[in-house]
C-alpha cells in the first residue's frame, strides 16, 4: 500500500440523510488492511484518501478537508475537532472507541460509530490458544526440539513441566458479553465448569454458568479470562489485592485491554510464584516502547494485540465499516457511540 493514495477531486459536499458524495480520509489504514483487503468498496461514497499511518502532528493537515474520518488508533479530541470544521463523522474501525473524546464529538455535532462483535470468535480463539499453550507447552517443546532436545533424549518422551488437564477445572470469565460467552463455550467443550462475573442476572446466563462476585471468582477459579471493556470502573481491576486471592496454580488470560491489569502487580505475582502463569495479547502501552514488566515476567506469554486480526474478522470489520458509513449518509446512523 502506498503511504498516501488520493483519488479524484473532492466532490460537492453531500447532504446528510440524502445520499450524495462525501470526502473520506482514512488516517491509519494499515492497521485494518496491511494489503490483503480492499478499501475500494468505500469509493462508492465519494473521494477517498488513505494514509497507512498518521502521527499526531499530521492529523490536522491530512484531515482538513474530511467530512468522514476512519481511524483505528489515531487519537481525536476537542483540539482536533475545533480545527476540522467540515468533519461530521468518525468511524472507529474497532470495538473500543476510547481514542475518541465522544463528549467533545457530541459538542461539535460529530457522529462517532464503532464496530461491535466482528471479532468475537477470533478473540475467544486467541484466549483459548494462550491457555492451551500454557497448559501444554506446545511452543516451548517445538522450539526445544528444533534444537535437538528430543533427539538427544534417553527416553521416548520428556517434559520440563507436567502438562495440565483442563477438564474438571473452573474457568472464571470476567465480562459475559459475546466474547465471554464464546470463551465459555470453548471451555465447556474441554470439560471445564464456568463461573462469570457479569451484570447479567443468573436467569440470563446460559445453563451451567454460575454467577459469582468478582472476588469469589478470583478466589475459586483455576483460570480467569478477561472479556470486559476498559472503563473507569475496570481500569486496574486486576490489582495486587485481587491477584493475592488467586490460587498459586491459577492462570490469568487477558485479551481485553491492557490497563485492566496492573502490570507491575501481575509481574510480581508471576515472579514470586503467587500465581502460575499468564497469557496476554494486550499491554498498557502498545507497542511497549518503554518496556513492560510482563515482557520478562516468569511464565508470562505475550502476543502483540493480534486476537482481532484474523482475515475473517478483519473482513467482517470492513463490511460493518461500510454499512456504518452508508447508514450515516442515508440519515439513520447505526452503532453510534457518541
The domain defined by 4-118+312-329 folds into Rossmann fold (3.40.50)
User: pLDDT at residue 78 above 70?
Assistant: yes
Q: Which residue has the higher pLDDT, 281 or 19?
A: 281
Q: Mean pLDDT lowest for which of 4-18, 57-71, 283-297, 308-322?
A: 4-18
**H or E segment to which residue 252 belongs:** strand 251-254
Look up residue 95 and give its three cell numbers: 470495538
The string of pLDDT tens digits covering residues 6-33 is 333 333 334 444 445 899 999 999 999 9
The per-residue pLDDT for 137 is: 96
Write down the pTM of the prediction: 0.90
Helices 120-136 and 311-329 pack at an angle, to 10 degrees, of 160
Domain assignments of the chain as residue spans, ordered by start: 4-118+312-329, 120-302
Percentage of the chain lying above the pLDDT 70 cut = 94
State the pLDDT confidence band at 3, using cuts at 50, 70 and 90: very low
The per-residue pLDDT for 20 is: 56
Instruction: Quote the mean pLDDT of the chain.
Output: 94
The string of pLDDT tens digits covering residues 206-242 is 999 999 999 999 999 999 999 999 999 999 999 999 9
Write the DSSP symbol of residue 152. Answer: T
CA distances from 39 to 294, 313, 315, 318 (A): 36, 15, 11, 8
**Mean pLDDT of the 165-191 span:** 98
State the pLDDT confidence band at 49, using cuts at 50, 70 and 90: very high
The per-residue pLDDT for 14 is: 41
Q: Are strands 4-6 and 48-51 parallel, antiparallel or unpaired?
A: antiparallel
The per-residue pLDDT for 207 is: 96
Decide whether 4-118+312-329 matches 120-302 in CATH topology: yes
Active site (catalytic) residues: 257, 286, 305
3-state class of 71 per DSSP?
strand
3-state class of 23 per DSSP?
coil
The per-residue pLDDT for 4 is: 41
Right CATH for 120-302 from 3.40.190.10, 3.40.50.20, 3.30.9.30, 3.40.50.720: 3.40.50.720
User: pLDDT at residue 327 above 60?
Assistant: yes
The string of pLDDT tens digits covering residues 106-164 is 999 999 999 999 999 999 999 999 999 999 999 999 999 999 999 999 999 999 999 99
The per-residue pLDDT for 263 is: 98
Amino acid at each position: 500500500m502506498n503511504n498516501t493514495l488520493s483519488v479524484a477531486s473532492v466532490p460537492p459536499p453531500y447532504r446528510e440523510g440524502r445520499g450524495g458524495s462525501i470526502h473520506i480520509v482514512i488516517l491509519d489504514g494499515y492497521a485494518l488492511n496491511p494489503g490483503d483487503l480492499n478499501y475500494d468498496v468505500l469509493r462508492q461514497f465519494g473521494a477517498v484518501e488513505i494514509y497507512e499511518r498518521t502521527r499526531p502532528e499530521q492529523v490536522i493537515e491530512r484531515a482538513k478537508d474530511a467530512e468522514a474520518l476512519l481511524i483505528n488508533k489515531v487519537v481525536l479530541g476537542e483540539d482536533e475537532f475545533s480545527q476540522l470544521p467540515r468533519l461530521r463523522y468518525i468511524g472507529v474501525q474497532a470495538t473500543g472507541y476510547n481514542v475518541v473524546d465522544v463528549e467533545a464529538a457530541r459538542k461539535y455535532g460529530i457522529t462517532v460509530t464503532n464496530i461491535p462483535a466482528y471479532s468475537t470468535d477470533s478473540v475467544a480463539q486467541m484466549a483459548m490458544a494462550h491457555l492451551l499453550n500454557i497448559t501444554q507447552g506446545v511452543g516451548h517443546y517445538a522450539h526445544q526440539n528444533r534444537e535437538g532436545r528430543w533427539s538427544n533424549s534417553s527416553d521416548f518422551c520428556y517434559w520440563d513441566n507436567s502438562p495440565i488437564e483442563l477438564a474438571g477445572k473452573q474457568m472464571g470469565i470476567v465480562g459475559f458479553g459475546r466474547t465471554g460467552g464464546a470463551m465459555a463455550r470453548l471451555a465447556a467443550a474441554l470439560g471445564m465448569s464456568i463461573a462469570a462475573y457479569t451484570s447479567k442476572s443468573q436467569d440470563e446466563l446460559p445453563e451451567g454458568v454460575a454467577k459469582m462476585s468478582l472476588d469469589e471468582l478470583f478466589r475459586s477459579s483455576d483460570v480467569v479470562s478477561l472479556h470486559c471493556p476498559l472503563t473507569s470502573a475496570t481500569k486496574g481491576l486486576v490489582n495486587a489485592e485481587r491477584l493475592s486471592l488467586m490460587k498459586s496454580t491459577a492462570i490469568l488470560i487477558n485479551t481485553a485491554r491492557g490497563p485492566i491489569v496492573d502490570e507491575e502487580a501481575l509481574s510480581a505475582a508471576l515472579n514470586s510464584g503467587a500465581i502460575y502463569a499468564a497469557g496476554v495479547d494486550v499491554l498498557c502501552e502498545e507497542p511497549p516502547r518503554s518496556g513492560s514488566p510482563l515482557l520478562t515476567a516468569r511464565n508470562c506469554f505475550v502476543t502483540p494485540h493480534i486476537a482481532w486480526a484474523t482475515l475473517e474478522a478483519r473482513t467482517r470489520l470492513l463490511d460493518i465499516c461500510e454499512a456504518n458509513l452508508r447508514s450515516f449518509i442515508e440519515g439513520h446512523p447505526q452503532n453510534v457511540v457518541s
